[in-house]
Amino acid sequence: MSKNVTAAVGPLICVVGARPNYMKMAPLLRAIQAEPRLPKALLVHTGQHYDFALNDRLFADLELPAPDVNLEVGSGSHAVQTAEVMKRFEPVMLQHKPSCVIVVGDVNSTMACTLVAAKLHVPVVHVEAGLRSFDRGMPEEVNRVVTDQIADLLYTTERSAHDNLAREGIAPERAQFVGNLMIDSLQAALKKAVPPEATLAREGVAAGWLDSAAGFGVVTMHRPSNVDDPASLGELLDILRRVSERLPLVWPIHPRTKANIDKLGLTDRLAGVRIACLPPQGYLEMVGLLGKARLVITDSGGVQEETTSLGVPCLTMRPNTERPITIDQGTNTLVPRDATVVLRLVDEVLANGGKRGRAPELWDGQAAGRIASHLAGWLAHRVVAKHSEVTS
């Protein structure tokens, strides 16, 4: 039987649900299209993140094609959102009869679509598998553990992920180390990145705001532990006020964070300080800001990876991270929501440049090609094995 499986199997269903998924899926779709041994890809957007204007902008920035299917699930509790994705994804599976389903990351859509595919006996490929924070209080951690247990093929971004999978009883042959798709998108975007001055000017920030020998820092915050509790959010804003006395900050504010600041009457804490509060930005704008920043303060998983690749010191306001390689080899440092600790580390960055680290193994912008090549061989083997079963 031919090793070309394109005529023998259905399409590859590629699932995205939230902004971090787009950065990982964009280069992978291009690599799938360039691999002649693979069937066509069908892009399914669950609609878990549903800011359509921002979605359109991000898709354009990443040269990601419009979704073939949009489930338009929208917001809801974790249970409601997961259930709604499953209800709406199953008919898509039954209609298109895919050869496999490719999911990325750790959002609710990732786990929900994995469950649907597994119950329909369709193989699942999980990209960015094996990452663990060891904190089951994070909904993303539950999504990761469940997805990895069920998925048939696990692509990893760092070698420590294989140890995590082994501890959970997952056979080593199910996992393949390929590198980090996020870095594929980052490297492709660097030459097109929007300069910070242009982004700030477009958002109405006064000219000369960046005329400081210190440069600027970037803030991204969205996790419930930092922005949903009134006391925690108040502490966060006070810390940022004090940091801005040392370094101007640019803060593209997540919609939920902005809503909580407004609802809790905390807007005044952002008045009269050197914090440029912006609406959510496109990918090219964010890459421009991150690449030129003196430091980044975040609670985002993806930003930890991007800053490590860019060599920018990153302070992650979380008690743990599922991306330990960004600490061990990269530029990342975990910090508590404690002004004394944060200000000490900010001062270190301003005094001597802070933690620089190095790019981890296979974070080279070529992960998508490795995945497409391996996936073609894996699917061909499955087709041959299935044919042998039928004819034996």
Running along the chain, 392 residues long, what does each successive block of 10 average in pLDDT? 54 95 97 97 90 78 95 92 97 98 97 98 98 95 98 98 98 98 98 96 88 87 94 97 96 94 95 94 97 97 97 97 97 98 97 93 98 97 72 60
CATH topology for 12-179+363-391? Answer: Rossmann fold (3.40.50)
Burial class (CB in 10 A: 0-12, 13-18, 19+), 206: exposed
**What pLDDT, on a 0 to 100 scale, did the predictor assign at position 7?**
43
Query: End-to-end CA distance of the chain, in Å?
Result: 14
Is the CATH code 3.40.50.2000 the one for domain 195-352?
A: yes
CA dist., res. 51 & res. 281, Å (int): 12
Beta-strand pair 217-220/249-252 = parallel
CA dihedral 256, 258, 259, 264 (to 10 degrees): 120
**What pLDDT, on a 0 to 100 scale, did the predictor assign at position 147?**
98
CA distances to 32, 137, 294, 312, 315 from 352, rounded to whole Å, are: 44, 36, 11, 13, 15
**What pLDDT, on a 0 to 100 scale, did the predictor assign at position 388?**
63
User: Which residues lie across from 321 on neighbouring strands?
Assistant: none
Examine domains 12-179+363-391 and 195-352 and report if their fold is the same.
yes
Domain ranges within the chain, ordered by starting residue: 12-179+363-391, 195-352
Beta-strand pair 217-220/175-177 = unpaired
**What pLDDT, on a 0 to 100 scale, did the predictor assign at position 97?**
97
**What pLDDT, on a 0 to 100 scale, did the predictor assign at position 387?**
58
Selecting among 78, 96, 121, 222, the annotated active-site residue is: 222
The pTM of the full predicted model, rounded to 2 decimals, is 0.94
Residue 374 appears among annotated catalytic residues: no
